[in-house]
Structures are given as C-alpha cells and as structure tokens.
Amino acid sequence: MGVTAAGSFMARRAGSSAGWAVAGGGMSTSLIAIGIAGNRIGGAGTYGVAGNVISGGVWNLWWYGINTFLALAIVGLFFGVFFRRLKLHTVGELFTIRFGNRRCQWLTSLCVQTEYAVVGGVALAAVLAAVISSGGPILLSSATMFVRDWLPFTGNYTSDQQLKAYRITTTIYAFLAAIAAWFVATYTTISILDLLLFGFAMVVPPALSVAYLVYWQRTTEQGAYWGMVAGYVSRLIWFALIKIALSAGFAAPEGAGLLRRLLVYGLTVGGEGIDPSYLTFFIPLFVVPIVSLMTSQGKVRDDFSEMLSGRTPVEEKQIAGAG
C-alpha cells in the first residue's frame, strides 16, 4: 500500500508521454546506468540466484553479477549513444526508422515482452524487494513498448492521450502479472531462475539484429526479421524438447546410433539439457548476415548513418508515421 501511494504521488510528475516513457530524455548517463543495474541485478539477484548460492556456493552469485555487468557495459559503450541520438522510446523503433516497415519493430517488441512477461510477472510471486527493483520498471517498460510498437495509431495522439494510454496499459499489465504470479506459485513447481534465464535469452535475437543494423550497413530488413524469427522460434522449440525429454526419461540404450546419443546428451545433460540460450545467439548470428546477403536492401533511409552520428535530427513523425 505504501509503494502504491508513493508511486501514485510521483506519477503526477510525469506530465507528458515523453516524461513517462524516457523521463523527458533528461536523465544523465550515471542515473541511467544505476537504474538499469538496479532493475537487472537487484531483482534477479534476489529471487533465483540467491537460492542457487545457498545450494551451490558463492560462485552462483558472481557468475550472474559479472555477466550482467559486462552485458550492460557493452550496451552502454556500443549502443546507448545511438538510442539517445535517435530519441528512441523502444529499441524496435530503430528498424522502423531505417526500413520504414514496422514488422521488425513488432517482432522486437514480441521478443522483449516475452522476457518481460516472464520476469515481470513471476517477480510478483517472489520477494517484495525484487518486485520493487525489477517488477515496477518492467511493467512500465512493457506498457511503453505495447503502446509504441503494437498500437501505431497512437502516434497521432496528443501527449496527454499517449500518457493516458501508458497508464491504462500499465494497470492492465500489473493485473495480468499478478494473476500469472499467483498461478505459477500455486499450481506449478517451475524454477524461478529457469524462467528468468528463459526470458533473458529471448532478447538476444533482436539484440543481435540491432547490432548488425547499427554496425553493418549491408543488413536488410529481411535479414533482421528472419534472424529474430529463427532465434525466437528455435529457443521455444528447444526449451519444449528439453522439458519433454526430461519428463519422458529420454535415454540412449546400448548400441544406440550417434544421432540419438547426441540428442540425449543435448536434451538431458546435467539433468537440464544444453541451455537454449546458445541457439538464440548462434542462429541469428549466422541467419542475419546470410539472409541479408541473399536479399536486396529495398527502400531504406539514405540518411540513416547521419542520424546515427547525430548530424541529422530525428523527428517524432519519422517514427510514428512509418509503415
């Protein structure tokens, strides 16, 4: 109740849609870094990693902290400046600016919101501290992505109308997340950490597509799109196969062929199988450049590199009106 009251009071300070989504674009680099670190490390480190530390030793804490720090450092050094220059509210808008086509933006949003649905929703079933540091920002981010990426007609809304849409969507997200958390806690024995890692891996395909888009000019819309599709779908399929194999006791009898032994190893090794996160990285890593080389650029913005450099400003209508 106290958190709700404080949040309601502070929400009044957001008087515009930009104030709600990106704090008006006025946050310093240090504030952004601290906010992201608290969101990523604080929540996940409280529910899931802490349990592994108790059962497996202190290294189960540091592997997560070190990897998260390195990942955020890479994002800040190689991508953060472009997001600020292009005045992005969601990462997927980068594709729309470049290609004038929204399907990559929609798919990016789907990948990220799959993570948010897992992390934000399940977080509510865990420790209160984790909910405050992770659940809140994730719900707000999900609402922003849903409005910006999935409801393109809101691009014609006034700032007040967009702000209202953000608030309504956030309320709906919070309600659905609470229902999901209750269901997971009451009717399943799913590992919180397994779900977290599953969700985190879903953002890898769009992240790789963004990396190619920014640093390799030959990237095509088809390459970025199908790279994300391949990574997303392969993750879902492999995750499902692991669960089926473990529940069915899938094994390789004596004299089994090489293919079966490889499948048994990949799906059951260590009692949990090979992490599907490898698929979400390596498949898009190759699919994006291969498809890009096989397809034409089509209609793209000639001044995209100028926008990335900051020499050409980006206007709201260039994002909202595309596609």
3 state DSSP class of 53: helix
Is the Cβ–Cβ distance between 313 and 145 less than 8 Å? no
Task: Please state, in angstroms and rounded to a whole number, the distance separating the CA atoms of residues 236 and 205.
Answer: 13
Work out the average pLDDT over 270-297. Answer: 90
Which pLDDT band holds residue 212 (cuts at 50, 70, 90)?
very high
**Among candidates 187, 198, 216, 197, which has minimal Cα distance to 125?**
187
Which pLDDT band holds residue 318 (cuts at 50, 70, 90)?
low
Q: Identify the pLDDT of residue 129.
A: 43
Q: Please count the residues of the chain.
A: 323
C-alpha of 67 from chain center: 16
Asked if residue 286 is part of any domain, the answer here is: yes
Asked if residue 158 is part of any domain, the answer here is: yes
Structure tokens at 177: 């997340």
Q: What is the pLDDT of residues 98-121, one digit of tens each?
A: 888 888 998 988 888 887 766 655
Q: Is the pLDDT of residue 251 over 80?
A: yes
Please give the tally of structural domains in the chain: 1
**Among candidates 191, 195, 196, which has minimal Cα distance to 44?**
196
| Torsional class of 25: left (φ above 0), alpha (ψ -120 to 50), beta (otherwise) | left
Q: What is the pLDDT of residues 216-236, one digit of tens each?
A: 989 999 999 999 999 999 988
Task: Please state, in angstroms and rounded to a whole number, the distance separating the CA atoms of residues 266 and 273.
Answer: 5
Neighbours of 165 (CB within 10 A): 20
Asked if residue 217 is part of any domain, the answer here is: yes
**Tokens 């990523």 map to which residue?**
40
Q: What is the pLDDT of residues 7-25, one digit of tens each?
A: 667 666 666 656 665 565 6
Which parts of the chain are beta strand (E)? none
Q: What is the pLDDT of residues 42-88, one digit of tens each?
A: 555 555 566 677 777 777 667 766 777 777 777 777 877 787 778 78
Is the Cβ–Cβ distance between 13 and 26 less than 8 Å? no
Task: Please state, in angstroms and rounded to a whole number, the distance separating the CA atoms of residues 149 and 142.
Answer: 10
Asked if residue 1 is part of any domain, the answer here is: no
Which pLDDT band holds residue 127 (cuts at 50, 70, 90)?
very low
H helices then E strands: how many in the chain? Answer: 19, 0
- Domain limits at 231? 7-320
Choice between 248 and 298, residue whose per-residue pLDDT is larger = 248
Q: Which long-range contacts (CB under 8 A, 24 or more apart) does 101-107 make?
A: 101/221, 101/322, 101/323, 102/149, 102/152, 102/322, 102/323, 103/221, 103/225, 103/323, 104/209, 104/221, 104/224, 104/225, 104/228, 105/149, 105/323, 106/149, 106/150, 107/206, 107/225, 107/228, 107/229, 107/232
Percent of the chain exceeding pLDDT 90 equals: 13
Asked if residue 2 is part of any domain, the answer here is: no
Asked if residue 205 is part of any domain, the answer here is: yes
List Cα–Cα distances, 95 to 24, 287, 290, 321, in angstroms: 22, 17, 18, 13
Work out the average pLDDT over 245-263. Answer: 88
Which pLDDT band holds residue 200 (cuts at 50, 70, 90)?
confident
Asked if residue 252 is part of any domain, the answer here is: yes
Asked if residue 44 is part of any domain, the answer here is: yes
Ranking 67-76, 88-97, 189-198 by mean pLDDT, the lowest is 189-198
The three-state DSSP-derived secondary structure of 168-212 is: HHHHHHHHHHHHHHHHHHHHCCCCHHHHHHHHHHCCHHHHHHHHH
Q: Identify the pLDDT of residue 128.
A: 43
Supply the mean pLDDT for the chain.
77
Q: Is the pLDDT of residue 283 over 60?
A: yes
Q: Identify the pLDDT of residue 39.
A: 60
Structure tokens at 57: 């030793």
φ/ψ of residue 255, rounded to 5: 90, 5
Q: Identify the pLDDT of residue 176.
A: 79
Is the Cβ–Cβ distance between 170 and 139 less than 8 Å? yes
Q: Identify the pLDDT of residue 130.
A: 47
